[in-house]
Each structure stands twice: as structure tokens, then as C-alpha cells.
Amino acid sequence: MKNSIRDSYQAKLVSATLAVQQIRDGDFIIVPTGVGEPPELLTALSEQRQRFHDVKIAQILALRKYGYLDPATAHHVRHVALFYGPATRPGGQAGWVDFIPNYFSEIPRQIQEGQIGADVVLSMASTMDEHGYFALSLGTDYTMAAVAKARSIILEVNPNVPFTHGECHVHISQVSALVESSGPILEVGLPVIGPVQSAIGKYVAEMIPDGATLQIGYGAIPDAVVIQLTEKHDLGVHTEMIGDGILALVESGAVTNRRKNFHPGKMLATFALGSQKLYRFMHQNPQLEMHPVNYTNDPVIAGKNDHLMTINASLQIDLLGQCGSESLGLQPYSGTGGQSDFVRAANISRGGKSFIVLPSTAKNDTISRIVPALTSGTHVSTSKNDVNYVVTEFGVAQLRGKSYRQRAEELISVAHPDFRAELRASLNRL
Ligand code: COA
């Protein structure tokens, strides 16, 4: 390593307490998705939050409940969610966490155009390589767009962060301050998969051909699909989130990426969420590239993959096919994330299929998730014009090209039998 690079690193290395002093009143701070959030920096900012006025922190999927997530100090530092997770959902529902609706693929553009501010970036990063580059491998997402725009780029360098290939690198000359940490990267386990999730996974797995390219969404059912694909051959990956499910497919030999027509031989993703084993697998692995989300999730770009199979979860669907995947009535639950991006990508892909997966009921079979009309106030995540395959534990409904009446009949055929008569009775309203 050149002395100038090493000197520059040393000159920028400070304590977390000092690093967050680069933040100014009124700043908009960008933090990457999930495990890319930097714990030392966000803890230091939380401790000093009363010093600041009108600072905003924008993030998709915040995982940890830092001190600044506090209604009493939200006028000092306020969270702006781009997708609610467990740490931010209560604040969103109570009104002291804000929310900016978005397609995940478009957040970088909104940052570039100044619709979403980006004065400061706080991010986890790998250790620096001999050329002076760090990898933002855990959350490449919209953070690369913010790096291009921000006044201050403050990295938390941790040797447990994988150094990955792709378009995820930041040079020491772009960095304003560095802190070092050494704790393990936060692990997020696979969700519990019950018989309903397994039944849905089986239907989807039967429709995925050898050689297909996969996008696997967030939630229990996408994971239930993944574990049923281990006997497939030559699958590829072009996804938003890389997790342990995909790692299991690589280990079983089902994923080879050899038949991909777009980025053959490579898996593409924009953020990681999983175990230490996953993070180690990502390190210096030439079969994986981490790219900004405006590349992985752009429907036209992702749709260049032939036979793209996209699997995403929903909370409720009406008989037109409108997917309410992110709220329960007016009550916000999550966000659109990449769902709509990838449904549209599958529609563009030659031989592509999008699957919206959901159990037929909620709350011990007392509520049908297939409904004549979405519960009043429900936020529509995926349009009726885009949705295609809808899968419950009772089978597969295919909607594209079908009339309102035909769609309703398809959806009723996969509803829970206890609710079918009621749903049929609503048909004369279509
Ligand atoms: N009425 C009432 N309650 C309902 C309901 C309905 N129609 N549908 C779901 N619920 C409840 C469930 O019972 C569950 O409650 P519990 O936690 O008390 O058991 C809760 O809402 C969550 O439902 P579940 O089906 O378990 O959700 P999930 O964990 O599989 O997650 C989301 C689903 C949130 C990931 C998904 O809907 C989402 O956000 N999709 C959009 C984003 C996306 O797809 N991104 C893809 C790229 S990463």
C-alpha cells in the first residue's frame, strides 16, 4: 500500500464521538439498508442527539432500536423510513417517524435529483484495500448515489464486512472521517416456515424451470420457496437481497449462474441480510457482485434476464388483483421495497414469471387475505395491471390477460374454502 493512502487513512481516523460532529443542524443523513447501518456511529449520534436540531436520518429497513428512535427527541433527530421494519414501525404508526413512499429502484434517482436529501452518509464498510478502496457491500442500494452527492461521508470500518466485487466501492479520497469497529455483523435468521408456507413454496417451485434466474423477496414464504429448489439445475440469481436461502442453493449446486444470459456466471444483489456464514461467503467471491439498486431493481435492466422468476410476499389482495403488501388498512406495516420493481421486471423478461405469495388467511383462519375490496385505507403496492401469478396454499391463480370477472374467479379458487361463498357473493359487484 502506498504511504500516501495509509497516511490519508490515519489522518481521517477519529472516534465515533468526533466523527458525528461533522453533522450540522438541518442535515439529511443517508444510512444503508439493514445490516449496513453503522452501530458505533448511530450510537454516538444517539448519545449526542440533544445537540442537534432538525436532523433527519433516512433508511430502508432499520433493524436496531438506537437511542435516537425516541419520540421525545424527534425534533432533534428524526427518522425518515423508506420501508418500516420492527425498529421503526411503532414510531411510524404513532406518527413520530416519517415515511417517504418509493420504488426501491428509484431512490438513487430521487437522491440525485435532490427530492431526498443526502448531506451526510453514515455506513458500514469493509477494510481498505491496497488501492485505497472500501466496499459498501452490506448495503450498496441507494448509498452509492448518496456518496456521489454528500458533503460528508463517514464510514465505520469493520474487518467482518466482506470486500465484494461489483459497483460498491468508495475511495479514501472521498471519505471525510473513519471510525473502526470490530464486532460481528448483525445476523438475521431465516423465518420460521410452517406447513402453509411450505405448501405455497411447493406450488411455486413446480413452476420454476431449470436454468431460470431468481429474485427472492423478504418474508417467510420467499424463503420457503428457496428451500424447495435445491434439486433444480443451473439456476441463476439477480436479486435485491442476498440471504442464507440463496447461499443454500449455491451450496447444493442448484445455483451455478451458468445459463444466465445477462451477467452470466455472476449473481447480482444490492444488499445482504443473513448469517456470519453468508457474510464470509460474500468476501472476495468472484461469483457475486453487489450493485446499486437502480441497477439491480430497474425493471428494464432486471428484465434483461430471460426466465426471471420473482417471488414476493403480500398481506392482502382484492379480486381485481391489487396487492396491499405494506399496510393493514391505514396502519403502515412495511413498504413497497422492490416488489413492484421485480413484478414489472418479470413481465418484461422473456419467459419471466412473477409470483405474489400469501397464505389464504390471517389470524388463525379468521380473516381472508383475498378480499372483494382492500380494507379501507390499504396502500396498494403492486398494481392490478402488473400482478400475474398469485399463490396461496390452495394453488395458483394466473391474472394477466384476464378480465375482472375471470381474475376474481381465479382468486376465489385459491381462497380458503370457508370464505369462497362470501367472495362469490360479491362477484355481481364487479
Ligand atoms: N389482515 C390482518 N392481519 C394480517 C393480514 C390481513 N390481511 N395479513 C397479514 N396480517 C398479519 C399477520 O397475521 C402477521 O401478524 P403476526 O405478526 O401477529 O402474526 C403480520 O400481519 C405479518 O404478516 P405475514 O404474512 O407474516 O408477513 P411476512 O412476515 O411474511 O412479511 C412482508 C410480509 C411485510 C415482507 C410483505 O408484505 C412486504 O412488505 N412486501 C412488500 C415488500 C417486498 O415484497 N419486498 C420484496 C423485495 S425485498
262-290 per-position pLDDT tens digit: 999 999 999 999 999 999 999 999 999 99
Q: Give the pLDDT confidence score for residue 42 in this predicted structure.
A: 98
Atom 17 of ligand 1, residue of closest alpha carbon:
363
Task: Report the pLDDT averaged over residues 6-17.
Answer: 97
Mean pLDDT of the chain: 96
What would the mean pLDDT of 217-243 be, rounded to a whole number? 91
Higher pLDDT, 327 or 428: 327
Q: Whose CA is nearest to atom 14 of ligand 1?
A: 362
pTM of structure = 0.96
HEC per residue, the chain: CCHHHHHHHHHHECCHHHHHHHCCCCCEEECCCHHHCCHHHHHHHHHCHHHCCCEEEEEECCCCCCCCCCHHHCCCEEEEEEECCCCCHHHHHHCCCEECCCCHHHHHHHHHCCCCCCCEEEEEECCCCCCCEEECCCECCCHHHHHHHCCEEEEEECCCCCCCEECCEEEHHHCCEEEECCCCCCCCCCCCCCHHHHHHHHHHHHCCCCCCEEEECCCHHHHHHHCCCCCCCCEEEECCEECHHHHHHHHHCCECCCCCCCCCCCEEECEECCCHHHHHHHCCCCCEEECCHHHHCCHHHHCCCCCEEEEEECCEEECCCCEECCEECCEECCCCCCHHHHHHHHHHCCCCEEEEECCCEECCCCEECEECCCCCCCCCCECCCCCCEEEECCEEEECCCCCHHHHHHHHHHCCCHHHHHHHHHCHHHC
Percent of the chain with pLDDT strictly greater than 90: 94
Domain 3-180, CATH number (from 3.90.550.10, 3.40.50.300, 3.40.1080.10, 3.10.105.10)? 3.40.1080.10
User: Does 195-429 match 3-180 at the fold level?
Assistant: yes
**Could you tell me which CATH number the domain at 195-429 has?**
3.40.1080.20
Ligand 1 centroid to residue 91 C-alpha, Å: 18
- Determine the average pLDDT of the residues in 173-197: 94
Tell me: pLDDT of 430 over 80: no
226 close to ligand 1 (CB < 6 Angstrom): no
Residue 44 near residue 19, CB atoms below 8 Å: yes
Q: Kindly name the residue from 240, 326, 393, 410 that is annotated as catalytic.
A: 240
Q: How confident is the model over 148-184, as pLDDT tens digits?
A: 999 999 999 999 999 999 999 999 999 999 999 999 9
Catalytic annotation present for 240: yes
Mean of pLDDT values over 415-423 = 97
Domain residue ranges in the chain: 3-180, 195-429
| Any ligand 1 atom below 6 A from CB of 314 | yes
